[in-house]
Amino acid sequence: MLDNRPTLPPEIARRRTFAIIAHPDAGKTTLTEKFLLFGGAIQMAGQVRAKGEARRTRSDFIKMEQDRGISVSASAMSFDYREFRFNLVDTPGHSDFSEDTYRTLTAVDAAIMVIDGAKGVESQTRKLFEVCRLRDLPILTFCNKMDREARDTFEIIDEIQENLAIDVAPASWPIGSGREFLGCYDILNDRLELMDRADRNRVAETIEIKGLDDPKLAQHVPAGMLAQLREELEMARELLPAFDRKAFLEGHMTPIWFGSAINSFGVKELMDGIGNYGPEPQPQPTASRKVAPEETPVTGVVFKVQANMDPKHRDRVAFIRLASGHFERGMKLLHVRSKKPMAVSNPVLFLAADRELAEEAWAGDIIGIPNHGQLRIGDALTEGEDLRFTGIPSFAPELLRGVRAADPMKAKHLEKALMQFAEEGAAKVFKPMIGSGFIVGVVGALQFDVLASRIEQEYALPVRFEASQFTSARWVAGPKAEMDKFLNVNKGHIAHDHDGDVVYLTRLQWDIDRIQRDYPELKLTATKEML
C-alpha cells in the first residue's frame, strides 16, 4: 500500500482517527449515526438523535448539552469497520464553540467535510476548512442530501475548488437529484450504486459494471439519464483531476462522494474511502522533534479537558491523543509539566455505546483519563522523555465581559469556578492588575450563557455578566527590562490569565499598533500556544 510512512505495526496501521466538519444542519449528526450503525456500534438508527426530541448524540455527556440540544463539547467514539478501527472525534457544530473544535482538529489525522448539496460551501464549512488547511489535513468530502433538489454537480465541485482552493476529484457521480435521484456511479470501483428509498437503514444495492458501455447500465438507468451520465462523466474526466492518493494525503486534493446520509446512501463508500485511502496515524510535532507512531515508548498529549462529566463526582476527564506506542492499563507515565509520575489505572475508551475502561490503546487512539485537575490542555504524558507537543492553539477571545457573583460573599467560590473553566479551555479568565473582579473572554456570545449555567449548576453560584470597557485581548511577551517598562505605564490595561501570563486589554486596535511601535521588542499575539 502506497503511503508516506514506513510500514507500521498492524494494530496502528488499521487505525483511522478523524473528525467530521460541517456547517450546522448539513447532516453531520445523521452521518455520524450511520457510521455507528455500519460500525456495529448501535443497532438501529435513531439512537443517536431521537426524532422530535432535543437533539443530542451519544457523544454528548453533560446534562446541559442535552437541555440545550446542542453539542457543546467534543468527544471521541471508537468502533470497528471492516479491518479498520475508526476513532471518530466529535466536533461541536455551533459556531460559538469553534475554539474547542479547533483544538479537536489537532488530535485527528483527517477530516470529513459534509456539505449540503443544495447549499454548497457555507460560512462554517469555510472556517473549519481553513483550520484543517493550517495542518494540511487530508479531507474527504461528502455532498449530502442528494435526495433533495441539489445543485448541478459541476457547479458544486467548482464552488469547492474556487472557494477553498483545493483540487476536487469525484469518487462517485450522482445520477439525477431530488425525486429523480437514482444513486451514483462509483468512479473508483466502476460500480453502480442504487439508492433504496423504501428502507432508510438499508445499504444501497451495488451492481458491478464493466465500464460505461456495459449493457447492464441500461437495465437500471432510464435512457435519458444514462445519456446524461455518460456525457457528464466524459466531461468530468476531461475537466477534473483523477483521484491521486498522494495529493489527497498532502492535503491538496479532496475526493468527493455524493449521497444521502438519511437514506444510508453513499455512507459505506465514504467509510471504505477513509479505510482504504485515509491516513494512518501520523507523526506528531513537538518542540524538539516529531514523534512517530511506531516508536515503542508511549507518548500522548491532552487536547481537551472536560469537567464534571459525572455531576456526582467532581472529576475531570482529560482526552489524550496517543502519539506513539502501545498503552496498557496501569502503566506509569511521566506527567511532563509537573515532572511527576502518574499511574494511569482507570483510562476510559469511548466506545460508541458506553464509556469503557481501556485495557489497551495504540498510537492514534483517544483515551480519557479521569483526574482531579492535574492534567491540562497541551500536557504531555511520556515514558520519561521531556516532550512538549506543539500546535494546540489558544485563541484571543473576541468578546469580553466582567463577571460577578450575585452574592458578593461568594467571590472566592467564583474564582475557583472560573479557574476551572479556564483550565478546561471553556473560557479565558483575566485578573486585572488594578481593581477586583475578573474579566471573562469567549469566542462566541453563547459561551457566556453556557458558563453562567454551568457555574450555577456545578457550583450552586448564580452569576451576572456585565459589560466590560475592553473589547480585545493580546498576550504580551518580551525581554524583562522592556516588559517592566511597558507594565509600569499601562497598569490600567494589564491583566494576567490563569497561567499568570501577561495580557494587554483594550478597545482600540490603534492602541495595539501603538504599543507595537513604542515597544518593538515586545510581541503582542492574538493566540498563545497552550503549554
- Residue set of the binding site for GTP: 90-94, 144-147
Q: How far is the CB of 157 from ligand G4P (least distance, A)?
A: 19
Rounded-to-integer distance, Cα 331 and Cα 342, Å: 8
Q: Which is nearer to ligand G4P, 36 or 261 (CB)?
A: 261
Q: Which is nearer to ligand G4P, 147 or 497 (CB)?
A: 147
Q: How far is the CB of 433 from ligand G4P (least distance, A)?
A: 43
Q: How far is the CB of 110 from ligand G4P (least distance, A)?
A: 18
Q: Are 396 and 504 in contact (CB under 8 A)?
A: no
Angle at which helices 123-134 and 98-105 cross, to 10°: 40
Closest C-alpha among 129, 105, 77, 127 to residue 366: 77
Q: How far is the CB of 150 from ligand G4P (least distance, A)?
A: 10
Rounded-to-integer distance, Cα 247 and Cα 238, Å: 19
Rounded-to-integer distance, Cα 71 and Cα 399, Å: 21
- Which residue reads 524583562 in cell numbers? 480
**Four-point Cα dihedral 474, 523, 302, 98, nearest 10:** 40
Q: How far is the CB of 25 from ligand G4P (least distance, A)?
A: 4
Q: Which is nearer to ligand G4P, 54 or 406 (CB)?
A: 54
- Which residue reads 459556531 in cell numbers? 95
| Whole-number Cα distances in Å, 279 to 13, 17, 142, 169 | 9, 8, 17, 17
Q: Which is nearer to ligand G4P, 24 or 222 (CB)?
A: 24
Q: Which is nearer to ligand G4P, 176 or 393 (CB)?
A: 176
Angle at which helices 267-277 and 28-38 cross, to 10°: 70
Q: How far is the CB of 116 from ligand G4P (least distance, A)?
A: 8
CB atoms within 10 A of CB 466: 9
Binding site for ligand G4P (CB under 6 A): 22, 24-30, 51, 93, 144-145, 147-148, 260-263
Residue 498 identity (one-letter amino acid)? H
Q: Which is nearer to ligand G4P, 31 or 62 (CB)?
A: 31
Q: Which is nearer to ligand G4P, 51 or 312 (CB)?
A: 51
Q: Are 417 and 424 in contact (CB under 8 A)?
A: no
- Which residue reads 516588559 in cell numbers? 483
Q: How far is the CB of 90 from ligand G4P (least distance, A)?
A: 10
Binding-site residue set: 90-94, 144-147
For residue 527, which phi and psi values (nearest 5 degrees)?
A: -130, 160
C-alpha cell at 457: 449548576
- Which residue reads 444521502 in cell numbers? 260
